[in-house]
Chain A
Amino acid sequence: MENKAKFLDRLKTFPKRFALGIFHFFMRLIFGIGRFFKNIYLAAKNHPKSFISGLLSFFLIGTGQLRNKQWYKAIPFFTILLIFVLFEIFTSNYIYAISGEIQDYPAQDGIFYFFRDYGGFLTSGLWGFFTLGRLVLGDMYRGERIVTYDRVLTWKSADNSQVLLGEGIIALVLVVIFIITWIFSIRDAYQSHKTFVETGKVEDVKTFFKRVWTDYFAYIIIIPSAILIFTFTLIPFLFSFLVAFTNWTERISLGQMLFKWTFFDTFKMVFTEAAWLKFFTDVLSWTLIYAFMSSVTVYALGFIQAMIIESKYVVYKKFWRTILILPWAIPGVISLMLFRNVFADNGGLLNQILVQFNAVESTKSILSSLGLVNQVDPGNILWLTSPANGSLAKILVIIVNLWLGYPYFMMLITGVLGTIPDSLYEAAEIDGANAPQKFRYITLPMVLRATAPVIITTFTFNFNNFGAIYFLTSGGPGYPIDQIPEAVRVLGAQPGQTDILISWIYKLSFGSANDQYNLASVYSILIFVFISLAAIYNLSKLKSFWEED
């Protein structure tokens, strides 16, 4: 009871705490900036000589280190600078600009087109990132009509926003990396000179590298992984995240390779346009039901199986366990595709069995009296494909997930059951407890406590369980045609009745001819927010995660 009151109280005060949190964040930001400048001022005032080293590195990266007589630090900094400058120059067309080709520049909408035409990877990348391109095929530009997507002579080609955004992000990341290195070099020049003044000694090469190797070992062994995650996960995610704030779909579907920053327009559309809102609420509610039901059923069946196999009434425990574990040993994708065949309309195992036992009509009538089968066409039951049998398909999706998922929990709970001390049960027996009481007051609480985090992880996993839907039903059956709002009927991006958010996102991004990529991004962000709430809740329960020893 106390917990419930506490929870409600926290829920009530949530908006207040949320607002306070944001306020706190901004105050910290402002004070942080203030403290930054104060520190610089103090450094200049208290250690003017060391400050000069920092200042030198500020104007030309690495010179401060030279002044400190630390050539082994200056060389890497110079090399980095050189790499960036050469990279910019060799990817640019500055040579054309210098050779006199440059004329008066169109500067429409306050945009300076010079970097578009002549800039190197970094500058033209930044240009592309902020503008996302302006010129489409057929536009007049500098006295010529644009007719191609030419990658070499950039000024004669139309802009492709997808490429510009991609290159822009890479350029932005590179520039940020450079700036961080720069700041680092300034700090280092100042600090090294300070230690030099204090101790009167300059570290020689050998001791420096040895010190770095031992003191920063924790960082050094992370670096390769960090680079991998950065390039193959973070930057692509950043791209997708940013697409949510563009009007990708509108323009790409018109055949132009150009889109714009529209900021929150897509978010607004998702929540205000009735057609999209209907689909979103439908899909979201099914996603929640699916995630909840599949986790609960899997857990319950796993629990029951573990109890039965471990009970004293069962002989040949090992034999049964090996058979019942089988679904776990088969790769999930294969099982799902297998079940797609089991439920196939013609020749599927289930329909074949029904035909064999002459039970098609009776099964159909039972299912239709439950309201699950409403199909008009005679013959075999259309388990997963008839728009009229939507709820049947949904139930089957959960059942198939149950088939796939229970062995894991069976094994998990079997393991937990083994850890419950027998003395507990013996004590309960002496106190006169019967079997249900022993289950209710000993087994259940012990198992639940041990597996609680796993339940939440399973829920979040099922929330995003793309494969379970895609490989079994591909989201089908579709909605009956009269239930699809007019506004989205043409787009070919409607979800099916068993589509969960993640599989719908897949359809939106890769499914139809006109990629609804910004919509997909918006929904991904929503999923992310939802899942992270669940995960934060889970983490807050896990004390061991935060314990540092």
Chain B
Amino acid sequence: MENKAYKMTFKMKVSRFFRTLTLKKFILGLLAQLWLIMMALIVLTPVLWMISAAFTNGTNLTQVPIYPKFSQWSFANYQYLFTYTSSTQAGALPDYVDSFLTTLIIAVASMVMVVIFSSLVGFSFSRYKFRGKKQVLLGMMALQMFPSFMGMLALFMFFRQFELLNKPLALALIYVAGSIPYNTFIVRGFMRNIPKSLDEAAFIDGASNLQTLFKIIIPLAVPIMGFIAVNAFMGPWLDYILPSVIMPQKITVAVWLFRFMNPLGSTYSPLRFMAGALFLTVPIMIVQIFMQRYLVYGLTAGAEKG
């Protein structure tokens, strides 16, 4: 109680700071602040340059000023992005919007499926003993280690054969299959820390397996499922390699953007890339910064529990 009642005002803080100021403290504090300022500069300079480039009218990097000149900012790049419609898409939405929606479908679909499937598998692995459990766990561990795009050629061939190319949901299934093993480990690690006495109490009260899962475990596992959901959304959101092979006609937003970065292509325009990339980055950045503590918690939880 005492601690709560006693709250330092800013003035008190300042006065305490000067009262306790020593030479050593002053020098170390100064050095630390200088170091932080330097790091902040290193972190912020490229980002600010990117923003400045996104709002520069032109096609070449040389046209981007080092010091941002706000009076010369223009929305020419964004105008291009949101109005350009290629002849192959006549009458439809502008290309960028179209691929944005395609990517959104893929990301949301894979998010939903990953959360459902990996919480089911994680539940099974954390709560039940069954034959072959260790082998399956080891196998999933091994699966993660094989370079993921090694299966891509085969996937392309199978997809061509079964006419699944250019289908967003089919692509989402690949992401889901690829991320179940990793997420299972995380969910399993989390669910193992939920006391088993809860299950047993539910069992005595006559709850079925499904009821235990949905009424007891899932509500408690919401934080970790949120973490998985964010990751499962981010994964496909800006993935480039897989969509470029599996979706040759119906391109995703990352593929669309990276066309601007091919110096040999006819669409080469780093400034448009910067504009498009900035548009995709800002929402993600806001989410990441706000969910910071939560996301790091998930990462460490997954890491420490294996």
Contact = CB atoms under 8 A, between A and B. Distances in A.
B78 interface: no
Contacts of B180: 225, 228-229
Contact of B274 (A219, A222, A329, A341): A341
A314 B36 contact: yes
Interface string B104-137: 0000000000000110110110011110001000
B91 interface: no
Contacts of A228: 117, 173, 176-177, 180
Interface stretch (B62-70, B93-101, B218-226): B62-70
B66 A340 contact: no
Interface in A87-103: none
Nearest to A317: B36
Contact of B49 (A327, A342, A520): A342
B277 A334 contact: yes
B299 A412 contact: yes
A524 B300 contact: no
B44 A323 contact: yes
Interface string A330-372: 1101110111111010111100110010000000000000000
Interface of chain B: mostly helix, strand, loop or mixed: helix
Nearest to A414: B296
Contacts of A517: 153
Contacts of A521: 150
Q: How large is the interface on B (under 10, 10 to 19, 20 to 34, 35 or more residues)?
A: 35 or more
Contact of B43 (A170, A213, A344, A403): A403
A542 interface: yes
Contacts, number: 244
A395 to B, nearest CB: 16
B261 A337 contact: yes
Interface in A430-488: 450, 453-454, 457, 460, 464, 466, 471
Contacts of A347: 60-64
Contacts of A224: 117, 120
B81 interface: no
Given A214-B208, A313-B29, A240 B151 contact: yes
Contacts of A327: 43
B242 to A, nearest CB: 11
Given A344-B270, A353-B66, A163 B61 contact: no
Given A356-B66, A408-B299, A415-B300, A341 B288 contact: no
A323 B25 CA distance: 24
A304 to B, nearest CB: 9
B12 interface: no
B261 A340 contact: yes
B154 A235 contact: yes
A55 B173 CA distance: 41
Given A314-B29, A542-B306, A337 B277 contact: yes
Interface in A123-150: none
B146 A326 contact: no
A210 to B, nearest CB: 10
A532 interface: yes
A78 interface: no
Interface stretch (B1-9, B82-90, B155-163): B155-163
B46 A331 contact: no
A231 interface: yes
Nearest to B285: A329
A415 B297 CA distance: 9
A233 B143 CA distance: 8
Contact of A333 (B120, B151, B254): B254
A46 B223 CA distance: 55
Interface stretch (A112-120, A267-275, A504-512): A504-512
Contacts of A334: 238, 277, 280-281
B174 A232 contact: yes
Given A341-B270, A466-B149, A329 B40 contact: no
A309 B35 CA distance: 10
Contact of A218 (B124, B299, B300): B124
Interface string A173-217: 000000000000000000000000000000000000000011001
B177 A232 contact: yes
Contact of B178 (A170, A232, A326, A348): A232
Given A222-B121, A326-B47, A338-B46, A236 B129 contact: no
Contact of A506 (B118, B130, B149, B208): B149
Interface of B: 25, 28-29, 32-33, 35-36, 39-40, 42-47, 49-50, 53, 60-64, 66, 117-118, 120-121, 123-124, 127-130, 134, 141-143, 145-147, 149-155, 157-158, 161, 173-174, 176-178, 180-181, 184, 192, 196, 208-210, 234, 237-238, 240-241, 245, 254, 258, 261, 270, 273-274, 277, 280-281, 284-285, 288-289, 292, 296-297, 299-300, 303-306
Across the A-B interface, the 5 shortest Cβ-Cβ residue pairs: A236-B151, A347-B61, A218-B128, A347-B62, A239-B154
